[in-house]
Structure 1
Amino acid sequence: MTEPPGDAALSEPDDGDGVARSEADLRRYDFVEELLRDKLSEALGGWRGAVESAVPTLAFALTWARTENLRTALVVAGACVAVLLLVRLVQRQDPRFIAYAAAGVGISAFFALRSGRAEDAFLPGMLQNAGLLVLLLVTNLTRWPLFGFVVGVAEPEAFAENPTWWRRHSGIVMVAARLAWVLIALNVVRLAIMVPLYLAEQVAALGVAKVVLGWPAYLVAVTAMGAILLRGRTPIDPNRLA
């Protein structure tokens, strides 16, 4: 009998030891939501990551509003990144969130300096939001939700053997898709607010919007996802783990 197309990818044959260990590890969780809470907590930077992401953008916007000098605003934003990075290194803590901020400032500086328009410093972020929106939509509609890969990557050995091993569990696919719809809504809101400001060349308002729609809005989205993960009771395919 031919298997339905929608379920075909959920029944791959067994793989190597890494996948087997990951499958066995799922026995520790009663529900898919519990599993995703555990895995997603490893990917978030907490309140400090939020501050480190917002400070360079806020510094850029405030400096531009005061001086209207593009290079000065970029230098101040870069200096903030350098100070935050130095603090992380002195404390011997994970600097990856500073690295994200540094990459963001560097890309923004490239766009803004190349065009000479301060508002172009915000163009990479908007393009990133648009790209993420398309990616989330496509992966959700094709039943390959992006959050499923968070579960996959969290198990490096299994991911190396079979990056799609998590798709064997329909519960993971379903809950991961629900989480993605929250981020889809967030990116729609971000673009709906920031694109008109960009077209109107409202640099100071763009800076404020980027900060407010950055970590604060993201934390609202995380709260919504948290509600899904706390209230949900989706079994982790008990028959498959038997």
Structure 2
Amino acid sequence: MNDSEARQESLHDVLGGYRGAVDASVGPLAYVAGYLVGGKSIAWGAIAAGVATIGVGLWRWRRGGKLTAVLLGALGVGVAATIALYTGRGSDFFLARLASNVVSALAWSVSIVARWPLLGVVVGTALGQKTRWRRDPWLLRGYQRASWIWVGQYAVRIAVFTPLWLADATTALGLTQAALTWPLVAACLALSWVVLRKALPEAHPGIRHPVTAESLAETPDPDRVR
């Protein structure tokens, strides 16, 4: 890939799109389907979610995906089903997902304040940069700003899921879980990429080429770049 192509690629290209988010929608929808078909049976819903999640995972695996994704998907469904079966509330199948969004929002916020924005950690790892991106003041600033977009997506889910969970609205939770998974991730990837690119000066070589300390002497102060 030449420099021009690298500058044109997006977070969607680097992170592999939102296939995982699409797959994550299968379990909740299958749970709701099984729950309703079984006469609001948590057990039927859990079985349907488990079969659907493992089925999609194995299909991805046969197409070159990782087996660990299948195991993690099954584990997630198992934990969610265990909670719901223990409490007897159908909506508690989604309690772990609600909690994970709360934890994620807090973790991303703390990472930004600590100047270790998680978007930079994820992208830097995907590109094999380790921590070199942190030595680039423009990239660090860009990842900090763009990471707030991801905090926002978790906040949206929390705001929507919480009242539905409190109302024990199982069907609505399943539908909104799907609606706020891959579409929201797709929007997040696109918007955070725009924010990240706007934080970089025109002459910046792109996210694949951090401007490290050795070249800072020949570049303007990032706070003066508009």
Using a 3 Å threshold, how does the CA distance of structure 1 residues 132 and 43 change in structure 2: closer, same or farther?
A: same
Specify the alignment match of 2:31 in structure 1: 60
Shift of 1:226: 3.0
Q: Distance in 2 between matches of 1:42 and 1:106?
A: 31
Q: Is 1:111–1:121's contact at 8 Å kept on the other side of the alignment? A: yes
2:175 matches 1:208: yes
Q: How does 1:37-48 map to 2 (within 5 A)?
A: 37=10, 41-46=13-18, 48=19
2:88 corresponds, among 102, 112, 116, to 116
- Judge conservation of contact 1:52–1:97 (CA < 8 Å) in 2: no
Unaligned runs of 5+ in 1: 1-27
Task: Tell me the equivalent position of 1:227.
Answer: 194
Q: Give the alignment's TM-score, normalised by structure 1.
A: 0.73
Quote how far apart the aligned CAs of 1:231 are: 5.0
Alignment of 1:144-163 (within 5 A): 144-154=116-126, 159=130
- Within-5 A mapping of 1:163-182: 164-182=131-149
Query: Which of the numbers 68, 71, 74 marks the counterpart of 2:46?
Result: 74
By how many angstroms is 1:120 displaced? 1.1
Q: Which residue of 2 aligns with 1:126?
A: 98
Cα distance, 1:93–1:140 mapped onto 2, change above 3 Å = closer
Q: Which amino acid aligns with 2:103?
A: G
User: Could you say if the C-alpha distance between residues 105 and 80 of structure 1 is closer, same or farther in structure 2, counting changes exceeding 3 Å?
Assistant: same
Cα distance in 2 between the residues matched to 1:93 and 1:190: 27
**Aligned equivalents of 1:182, 1:189: Cα separation in 2:** 11
- Report what 1:240 is aligned to: 214
**Percent of aligned positions that are identical:** 27
Letter in 1 for 2:108: L
TM-superposed CA distance for 1:206, in Å, is: 0.7
SS at 1:51's partner residue?
A: helix
Structure with the larger RCO, 1 or 2 (CA within 8 Å, 6+ apart)? 1
- SS across alignment from 2:45: helix
**In structure 1, what is the Cα distance between the partners aligned to 2:173 and 2:107?**
24
In the alignment, the residues of structure 1 paired with residue 200 and residue 55 of structure 2 have an alpha-carbon distance, to the nearest angstrom, of: 44
Change (3 A) 1:35 1:238: farther
Q: Structure 1 residues 82, 150: CA separation in 2 closer, same or farther (over 3 Å shift)?
A: closer
Query: With structure 2 as the length reference, what TM-score do the two structures score?
Result: 0.78
Shift of 1:152: 3.7
**Bigger Cα displacement from structure 2, 87-96 vs 54-63:** 87-96
Distance change in 2, residues 1:195/1:65 (3 Å): same
What is the alpha-carbon root mean square deviation over aligned residues?
Answer: 2.8
Counterpart selection for 2:20 from 49, 56, 59: 49
Say which SS state the counterpart of residue 116 (structure 2) adopts. Answer: coil
Further displaced range: 111-120 or 230-239:
230-239
